[in-house]
Amino acid sequence: MRFDIPAGARHILQTLNDAGFEAYLVGGCVRDLLRGVAPHDWDICTSALPGETETCFVGQRIIETGLKHGTVTVLEGGEPYEITTYRTEGPYSDSRRPDFVRFVPDLEEDLARRDFTMNAIAMDLDENLRDPFGGAEDIKAGLIRCVGEPAQRFQEDGLRVMRALRFAAVFGYEIEERTARAIHENRAMLDRVSAERINVELRKLLVSKNAGAVLRQYPDVFCQFWPQLSPLVILEQHNPWHCWGGWEHTIHAVEAAPTDVTLRLTMLLHDIGKPACKSTDEQGIDHFYGHPAVSALLADQMLRALKFDNKTWEQVVLLVERHDVQLPPRSQVIRRWLNRLGPEAFFQLLEVKRADNMGQAPEKVKDSLADLDELKAKAEQILAERQCLTLKDLAVDGRDVRAVGIAPGPEVGRVLEELLERVLSGEIPNERTVLLKLVM
């Protein structure tokens, strides 16, 4: 056998076949096998009705949650396998699940409801393919192509617009021309898709290797669910730091960032406030004073609208707001920022600044990249030496301060804050005797 298919999946196909039913691996797993990538889950489709499938697996653990849509989940060796009866789908009017499904006798009818040719291939137990739409060819060519008439398929379910872009970004595939045209023309179908479904695809897209190419080719699609991007897409910036317009700079910054959803989102949104802050001086040089705060405000709106989780949302807004702060590589500066942000956000901020720099005129950024390396090394050293960064680390506490005669109350906190301030700046060492003497 040519493909690495788990014994559990083979056993399920065999059991269904033995009971006289057709059964195939289908969808993402077949696509990934043909791409030479290990599938992350295994979907099976069958001519058996859900009740018949359950009968085939009596005595085994079965999960019935998908029953209404024809799906029976069977556990084999601890792994869940979704077994779905051949079906067609009604429209997605609530944009989450199809309104209804209808069981059909024929595999090809089931394959025809699927979105792209590469996702509409079935494989039987002997590894023979059923591939009525030429999906295997398209995988070889690295092409994403709709099954059937592209415009109609995007109108049935607008999420397919984002799925096409996500697959293009993750696999580095091209979108076939007619499919690409239909994406541009039907992007407004995304208005009917829930924020949660768009969010899932957008995350996967952004952390992919080819996110930049997709942002470059389909800005109109991103503007559809985030209209706040539109002014940035057409923003020109005439100044010595920038060799690109706003959108191209953003794309370079996204590409330069590590493949982490917080960092990628930060780079996508960091300059979103620039168009509103643009001014041009007498020399014809553009300035964007105050743009980080405006960017943070817009980013806050946009992340809420797309229902990002609290942690991602908070981190991105903070990083967008701080992306332009000056960070000279001096220990007292680093200690202050470590105190203010905590180590995780501080190191994220360094990554953000690096990515931002990589999107600027190359001859201008050599020094700042070297500074960033120095900042990182010094911060790591400060943390390794467990230097004092917070009130908790201070060599004295409230009790000590009261013991030398400061009356209990807000004054105690104020004194501690001041001591911390002086320790952070390097003015005094974090030593108990020194600190107490100062208080007295």
> Going residue by residue from 326 to 365, which x/- string records binding to Mg ion, judged by CB under 5 A?
----------------------------------------
**Contacted entry of Mg ion, ligand ATP, none for residue 115, CB cut-off 5 to 8 Å set by kind:** ligand ATP
Q: Are 348 and 263 in contact (CB under 8 A)?
A: yes
What's the CA gap between 117 and 134, in Å, rounded? 6
> Going residue by residue from 329 to 368, which x/- string records binding to ligand ATP, judged by CB under 6 A?
----------------------------------------
What's the CA gap between 318 and 322, in Å, rounded? 6
Residue whose C-beta lies closest to Mg ion: 28
What's the CA gap between 297 and 23, in Å, rounded? 52
Under rule CB under 6 A, residue 74 binds ligand ATP: no
**Contacted entry of ligand ATP, Mg ion, none for residue 187, CB cut-off 5 to 8 Å set by kind:** none
CB of 42 to Mg ion, least distance (A): 9
Stretch that binds ligand ATP, among 58-66, 154-162, 302-310, 345-353 (CB under 6 A): 154-162
Under rule CB under 6 A, residue 157 binds ligand ATP: yes
> Going residue by residue from 86 to 125, which x/- string records binding to ligand ATP, judged by CB under 6 A?
----------------------------xx---xx-----
φ and ψ at residue 85, rounded to 5 degrees: -65, 140
Q: Are 70 and 82 in contact (CB under 8 A)?
A: no
Q: Are 175 and 115 in contact (CB under 8 A)?
A: no
CB of 82 to ligand ATP, least distance (A): 9
What's the CA gap between 69 and 110, in Å, rounded? 13
Stretch that binds Mg ion, among 20-28, 48-56, 278-286, 384-392 (CB under 5 A): 20-28
**Structure token pair of residue 76:** 């084999």
**Contacted entry of Mg ion, ligand ATP, none for residue 208, CB cut-off 5 to 8 Å set by kind:** none
* Helix (H), strand (E), coil (C) string for 160-204: HHHHHHHHHHHHCCEECHHHHHHHHHCHHHHHHCCHHHHHHHHHH
**Contacted entry of ligand ATP, Mg ion, none for residue 5, CB cut-off 5 to 8 Å set by kind:** none
**Contacted entry of ligand ATP, Mg ion, none for residue 76, CB cut-off 5 to 8 Å set by kind:** none
Residue whose C-beta lies closest to ligand ATP: 28
Under rule CB under 6 A, residue 28 binds ligand ATP: yes
Taking the least distance from each CB to Mg ion, the nearer of 160 and 252 is 160
What's the CA gap between 97 and 275, in Å, rounded? 38
Q: Are 77 and 71 in contact (CB under 8 A)?
A: no
Buried b (16+ CB within 10 A) or exposed e, 280-312: eeeeeebebeebbebbbbbbbebbeebebeeeb
H or E, element range at 286: strand 286-287
Residues of this chain, 22-41, that bind Mg ion according to CB under 5 A: 28
Stretch that binds ligand ATP, among 69-77, 156-164, 250-258, 413-421 (CB under 6 A): 156-164
Sites of contact with ligand ATP (CB under 6 A): 27-28, 43, 114-115, 119-120, 157, 159-160, 163
Contact residues for Mg ion, defined by CB under 5 A: 28
